[in-house]
Structure 1
Amino acid sequence: MGRCVFRASGRNVKAKVWRVDPSEPDAKSIEEAASILRKGGVVAFPTETVYGLGAVYHMRDAVIRVFKVKRRPPDNPLILHISSFSQIYTLASEVPEAVHRLAEKFWPGPLTVVLPKTSRVPYEVTGGLEKVAVRMPAHNVALRLIEAVGDPIAAPSANLSGRPSPTTAQHVLADLGDEIDGVLDAGETLYGVESTVIDLTADPPVLLRPGAVPLEEVEKVLGKVCVPAFARGLGEAERALAPGTRYRHYSPRAQLVLVELKDYSDLSKLVDRVKRLVAENAGRGLRVGVLCTDETREHYSGLGAVVLSLGSRRDPFGIARRLYSSFREMDSLGVDVIVAEGVDERGLGLTIMNRMRKASTKRVVV
């Protein structure tokens, strides 16, 4: 892909956009974006999970701007992104052996570890906590940007707080285009959901947020990991211990009604309840959407609802990857209420259900 720099069009967008190849981004675009960051600017960039909104971690004013641009509560910590393992020693005062084992297995990749912070990490980054969240992204654009900056980059997802995380640069521009300095556009992200976050300051380790690395894979390295209710999307942590542990997240503008089964071996019960909810909301004069799976899609034809399939239940990776973009598509279609099917919590299903529960305005358990 050739280098292309332009000013995005749309709602008074001022952000510069660099279109880059995801595998081999051109050095000039990376350096231009890095230069903005080094001067205290904020730039969105792709990772393998979602697009992040970056600032140099030790530049307090830039970090505060990230919070303001996103309308993010100041106690909601940011993840620090590194390009080499040696950078972790600048950020964490203790690096236990478990980090080395996890890094060998998952880095670069969508796993974040929470460790005791050093004095060099500002409290603005950690939401006032004595802990810091760190990961090494598996995306050449992100890695080369961090390398060019010469420092770790603090970055939450590049969307307005509470909205679905962005999986394309277009999503970033729709939410933040008139308030950020630029975005590196490398196309759609791979996983479509955020990283898994593990707190290694606790014994046993605690899952703070399920993500693109299934819990079962982490436990193969660490052994038993504690899973609090908030990590399943059931309630909130008393304090924001990591991104996604407190406050409503990932939500479409439409109301989201999530229908769950205690046992997903019989999907007929799920279909029946979804149909009833569609009829009830349509009867109130609302435009209704259904987020379903390939296994059930045919059952919703003829209801007058907008029907989108997230994919097959046999492919949770695909469902997770399509989730946020499907939320945004429903909004673009003018839907008032989305009735969404739940999935089994095994593997990536835990991540999918965490995101759906966090996004929902109502849960129905059958």
Structure 2
Amino acid sequence: MNIVEVSGRGQSSVRALLRAPARALRDGRIVVFPTETVFGLGARFDDPAAVARIFEIKRRPITDPLIVHIAHPRQLRCVVRYCTPLARRLMERFWPGPLSVVLPRHGAVPPIVTAGLDTVCVRMPAHPLTRMLLRLAGVPVAAPSANLFSRVSPTSIDHVYADFGDDERIAWAITGPPPRHGLESTIVDCTGPEPVILRHGAVNVESIARAAGCAVRERTLVAARRSAAAPGMMARHYAPAKPTVVCDDLSAALVRMTRRSGRVAAICSTATADACAHRFPNVHFLRAGATVREIGRNLYACLRAAESLGDTIAVEAVRPDGIGRTVMDRLRRACVPPDAGSHRS
């Protein structure tokens, strides 16, 4: 895996450094790149063999589709058969940015990208490095998050290395500043007249409802033995390697948990950590932030850090509205035991 470090460089220098990874994408090779959500693991969308390597590297089931990333709306013509009025309204409001739309699949998109479905998930990222890479590659890129399937998503190149090591199947890895959002894109089914949330993400439901001008429905769990309509719909997902619990009352939960043997790591707001740390000197507190948006941005980094600090992980619940709805969605899936993860609702 070759590394491209672009931090602190000017635009012309960055463009020169990205030419080799862009060429690798055109040639059907795999590239890790940062986005404003999490790090992605990409291949050109129209190369079934290259896309299949993504599934192999991630150990991802072929029933879980990928998102196709585009540099410009003009590229939609080779990814979707047509755009609905709803999709156009949401694109005008949120693109480039952390919103993915599901639309009828164009014949140029191989079935492996869409888990055999007749729809495809597509977005135009806002991250300047991602957009420059996509423009240089000149082809849409299919990419999930750059981590092992069902594990905690990566928000740094160190997280990518933790899961993949120096995997020779990955041609290039592009580093950069931490993602702005730290949570995946929101995925909206736009095939009908009203929006259907398939995955909560960095754009909250309230914003989508305002942009769409109508009510929003949700369908965020995949039915058993069926291909998922979008990524992130499995019952168990975003999960640390250690047992994890979400606590409405973190202090009360820690009283119970510290009575047992073993180390406990607690992820919570800065205020809660300041209030509780002196009461639980043997608990490793990870301060995720002062606001819900900060907590969302730092959640995955805290979950990965907690794996090495505790035998069990306790996470403070947040209010489930706005971006808090996304945070709670991730935590509910992270808490599903491994032996229950294959049973999908």
For normalisation by structure 2, the TM-score amounts to 0.91
**1:160 has 2:148 as partner:** yes
Distance 2:315 2:266 in 1: 6
Residue 236 of structure 1 deviates from its aligned partner by: 4.5
User: 2:57 is matched with which residue?
Assistant: 69
Matched, 1:287 2:287: no
CA contact (8 A) 1:254 1:338 kept: yes
Letter in 2 for 1:255: P
* Counterpart in the other structure of 1:99: 87
**Is the 1:288–1:338 contact (alpha carbons within 8 Å) kept by the matching residues of 2?**
yes
Question: What secondary structure, in the 3-state scheme, does the structure 1 residue paired with 2:258 have?
Answer: helix
Alignment correspondent of 1:356? 331
> 1:177: Cα distance to partner?
3.3
Distance in 2 of aligned mates of 1:272 and 1:185: 38
For 2:342, the equivalent position in structure 1 comes to none
Residue 257 of structure 2: aligned partner: 278
C-alpha displacement at 1:332, in angstroms? Answer: 3.0
User: Counterpart amino acid of 1:102?
Assistant: L
Could you list the per-position Cα deviations for residues 220-270 of structure 1 after superposition, in whole angstroms to 9, with x for gaps in the alignment?
011211023xx3xxx65443110101252111111101124xxxxxxxxx1
Contact residue 89 and residue 95 of structure 1 kept, 8 A: no
Q: 2:301 aligns with which of 325, 342, 352?
A: 325
Q: Is the 8 A contact 2:239 2:335 kept in 1?
A: yes
Q: Which residue identity is paired with 1:27?
A: R
Matches within 5 A, 1:303-318: 303=280, 304-312=282-290, 315-318=291-294
After superposing the two structures, state which structure 1 stretch, 162-171 or 350-359, moved more.
Answer: 162-171
The worse-fitting range, judged by mean Cα deviation, of 109-118 and 240-249 is: 240-249
User: Contact 1:58/1:122 (CA < 8 Å) preserved in 2?
Assistant: yes
Taking the aligned partners of 1:360 and 1:245, their CA distance within structure 2 comes to 14
- After superposition, give the CA deviation of every residue in 1:63-99 in whole Å (9 maximum; x if it has no partner): 0000000010111000000010011121111201222
Deviation at 1:61, TM superposition (A): 0.6
Structure 2 match to 1:336: 311
Q: Work out the CA distance in 2 between the residues paired with 1:346 and 1:355.
A: 13
Question: Secondary structure of the equivalent of 1:295?
Answer: helix
Q: Secondary structure at the match of 2:153?
A: coil
Residue 278 of structure 2, aligned match among 301, 308, 321: 301
Q: Per-residue deviation at 1:141?
A: 0.9
What count of residue pairs does the alignment treat as equivalent?
328
Deviation at 1:60, TM superposition (A): 0.6
Contact 1:57 1:152 in 2 (8 A): yes
Deviation for aligned residue 1:272: 4.2
Using the TM superposition, name which of 82-91 and 240-249 deviates more. Answer: 240-249
Q: Distance in 2 between matches of 1:277 and 1:72?
A: 36
The one-letter amino acid paired with 2:308 is S
Asked if the contact 1:274/1:341 (under 8 Å) is kept, the reply is: no
Contact 2:246 2:335 in 1 (8 A): yes
Q: Which runs of 5 or more structure 2 residues have no equivalent in the other structure?
A: 338-345
Q: Which residue of 1 aligns with 2:246?
A: 258
Rounded to whole Å, the distance in 2 between the matches of 1:288 and 1:237 is 34
> CA deviation digits over 1:168-204, x for unaligned, max 9?
1121122123222211101211100000000012443
- Counterpart AA for 1:310: A
Change (3 A) 1:213 1:35: same
Structure 2: distance between partners of 1:77 and 1:129: 9
SS in 2 for 1:310: strand
User: 1:20·1:185 contact (CA, 8 Å) conserved in 2?
Assistant: yes
CA distance in 1, matches of 2:144, 2:89: 25
Query: In the alignment, is the contact (CA less than 8 A) between 1:254 and 1:331 conserved in 2?
Result: yes
Deviation at 1:277, TM superposition (A): 3.3
Return the offset for 1:301.
2.7
Residue type of the partner of 2:276? H
Tell me the SS of whatever aligns to 2:217.
Answer: coil
**Deviation at 1:361?**
3.6
2:321 corresponds in structure 1 to 346
Shift, 1:38, TM fit:
1.5
Q: Which amino acid aligns with 1:217?
A: S
Q: Does 91-100 or 38-47 show the bigger shift?
A: 91-100
2:5 to 16, 19, 44: 19
Greater CA drift, 240-249 or 154-163: 240-249
The two structures, once aligned, show a CA RMSD in angstroms of 1.6
Structure 2 residue identity aligned to 1:294: T
TM-score, L = length of structure 1 = 0.86
Q: Percent identity?
A: 39
Is 1:211 aligned with 2:186? no
Q: Which amino acid aligns with 2:329?
A: N
Sort the Cα spacing of 1:112 and 1:306 in 2 relative to 1 into closer, same or farther, 3 A: same
Q: Letter of the aligned partner of 1:344 in structure 2?
A: R
| 2:258 partner amino acid | A
Partner of 2:343: none
Question: Which deviates more, 353-362 or 190-199?
Answer: 353-362
Distance 2:155 2:19 in 1: 23
